[in-house]
Structure 1
Amino acid sequence: MDFNSLISHPELLLLVLAPIFFVCILLEWYVGDRQNRLPLNARYHLPEVLCNFSLAGLHQLTDILTGLLIAKLYLMFFGWRLFDIEMNGATFIALMVAQDFCYYWFHRASHRIRWMWAAHVAHHSSENMNFSTAFRQSLMYPLAGMWLFWLPLVVVGFDPNWVVFVVLLNLGLQFFVHTQAIKSLGILEWLINTPSHHRVHHGRNPQYIDKNYAGILIIWDRMFGTFVKEVETVEYGITKPINSFNPLVVTFTEWRDMFKETFAANLSPAQRFKILFAPPATAESQVNQSHLVNEPPKSDEQKDQVVAAK
């Protein structure tokens, strides 16, 4: 496939890059599992690897199917573009930087808006970190609204095919930060997202939660106050573990919990809205508070039992 064909069909980019990904996986597996030179949570466990690959396949299939509709939407907005931008070396770099800026805000929103977290949580639910973790994607991103964050690039005047190509190139480059085999990249740590920075992002240590949202450039995190350096050993995963290697369970558990809480009895419209769109911890706190408010008062006997237990 030549480059022009790839720009015409950008959804195939990750498939083109797949051989490189698999070579990296094999090398990391050899260093970690065969030579025991990586931590235990960097090792490859077959049930999880199969889950990760299944999630990647479902994600790719959904992207192809929904991409047809999203492409039509992008073309409609492209008709209202502000400028006619011709692609060359300079405008390609400008598009890469602009898209990375948009990615930062998409990624940040995916952690701070529960509706979007319900899709993104699948990527964070593993308690291990290796290259196969990068494949751990959700088929629900189109419903969560990921595509909305690239619309400004189309409206400015970048060709939709080029926008999708750069979005997927950004995602493909992020594959390489999902590893524990590389400790530091020296001076590059100041400019780009590195494995060290991204390990922090996958941590559930309190000081690491909701940090280092970078795609390619770490400068956005430094600019907007979300950067944290890797110091303490990272504990991977989420604070509400899913504990399953079933890709459907991994994909839909948070959606199930979110809708169950949203349609619970005795909630006001404002409370329901917060459950859907507030930060995940705030939304869960909202549910807990409503349970306390609606909990029937304890009898004197129950109060005595509580005192005795103390």
Structure 2
Amino acid sequence: MPDFPNIILYAIPFFILAMLLELYVTAKQHIKSYETKDAFSSIAMGLGNVMLGFASKALVLLVFFFIYDNFRLFDIPVAWWSFALLFFADDFSYYWFHRISHECRLFWASHVVHHSSQHYNLSTALRQTWSGGFYTFIFWLWLPLLGFHPAMILLQMSISLLYQFWIHTEAINKMPKRFEAIFNTPSHHRVHHGSNPIYLDRNHAGILIIWDKLFGTFQPELEDEKVTYGLVKNIKTYNPIKIAFIEWWCMFKDAFTGRKSVKNRIKYLIKPPGWKHDGTGKVSDDLRNEWLESVGSVQSSVKENSFK
């Protein structure tokens, strides 16, 4: 087995220094991006993720090796070109994991943790799930099946996670246009963390923004629409345990209480957040369409008044 380092653990001192630098820069720019209780909640979630990560990674390695040893289609060596292929394959997997995590409540129950802060800074990047690592790896199962070594896959997943740390900031406005066109950036990811209807469920990229552009989920950050961070309905707690599990509680409560058909109970697990069996719920597409209609009617009104 290749002896690859756990780069996330080595990066922890860098995370701390980067947050201190960001705090200094944003203060100079008069940007109030940090709130003490919120930041400590994010850091607590990150520490919990690292500790639980030892167990979840053991499970992931076990499953990956089972597929790799018994069912792999090709023998892909550990080489520079295989890492180049894996870079794109992993990023493609991440895009679909991330997108489904917004479109299926079972996956949203763990991913919502990362969106639960109403602030956007480098500490928000540390606000990671305590439960997702035990089942979201299914989006990467095709990689050991192809023949990529499990250790290579885990290393590339860590590289992707490490890349995404720096994009959680308001200290950087825009990167050069060519960079913005290909890679995920602070501007693109600010959109992803927005609760504004136009920004909901957009920009699911890990490293490359090209997947969002290819599959129709790209949304640029608009100058006249400042990002409002957080959830459509914020959970309003700094308790790490509540942050980690409140959506699981709400999902199971919706699914298994009250008078509903078995079909509707299952739908509460697989339908998007906001869906309700009685038709009273609104998912992100509904909210976005309502917003676009309201903007369109306002623009039409302005045009009509300008001709009077």
After TM superposition, the score normalised by the length of structure 1 is 0.86
Q: Percent identity?
A: 39
1:218-233 equivalent positions in 2, closer than 5 A = 218-231=209-222, 232-233=225-226
Larger radius of gyration: 1
* Equivalent residue in structure 2 for 1:58, among 48, 51, 75: 48
> How has the CA–CA distance of structure 1 residues 248 and 21 changed in structure 2, closer, same or farther, with 3 Å as cutoff?
same
Aligned residue in 2 for 1:307: none
Deviation for aligned residue 1:239: 0.6
Q: 21, 31, 38: which one pairs with 1:27?
A: 21
1:1-310 to 2 correspondences below 5 Å = 5=3, 7=4, 12-33=6-27, 35=28, 37-40=29-32, 42=33, 44-79=34-69, 80-143=71-134, 145-186=135-176, 187-231=178-222, 232-282=225-275, 285-286=276-277, 289=280
Select between 203-212 and 89-98 the one with higher mean Cα deviation: 89-98
Gapped runs of 5+ residues in structure 2?
A: 282-308
Q: Helix, strand or coil: the match of 1:108?
A: helix
Cα offsets for 1:93-146 (capped at 9, x unmatched)? 110111000000000010000010010001001111000100000111034x21
- Partners of 1:205 and 1:248 in 2: CA distance: 27
**Contact in 1 for aligned 2:26/2:170 (Cα 8 Å):** no
Deviation per CA, 1:188-229: give whole Å up to 9, x if none: 110000000000000001000000000000000000000000
What letter corresponds to residue 242 of structure 2 in structure 1? V
**TM-superposed deviation, 1:277:** 0.8
CA distance in 2 between partners of 1:97 and 1:274 (Å): 32
Q: Find the residue that maps to 1:286 and give its secondary structure.
A: coil
Q: Which runs of 4+ in 1 moved over 4 A?
A: 287-290
For the residues of structure 2 that align with 1:196 and 1:265, how far apart are their CA atoms?
42
Give the 3 Å change call, closer, same or farther, for CA 62–287 of structure 1 in structure 2: farther
Q: CA deviation at 1:72?
A: 1.3
Partner amino acid for 1:23? Answer: L
Query: RMSD between aligned alpha carbons?
Result: 1.4
How many Å apart are 1:70 and its aligned residue?
Answer: 2.1
Consecutive unaligned residues of structure 1, counting only runs of 5 or more, are: 291-310
Matched pairs, number: 276
SS in 2 for 1:207: helix
How much has 1:69 moved relative to structure 2? 2.3
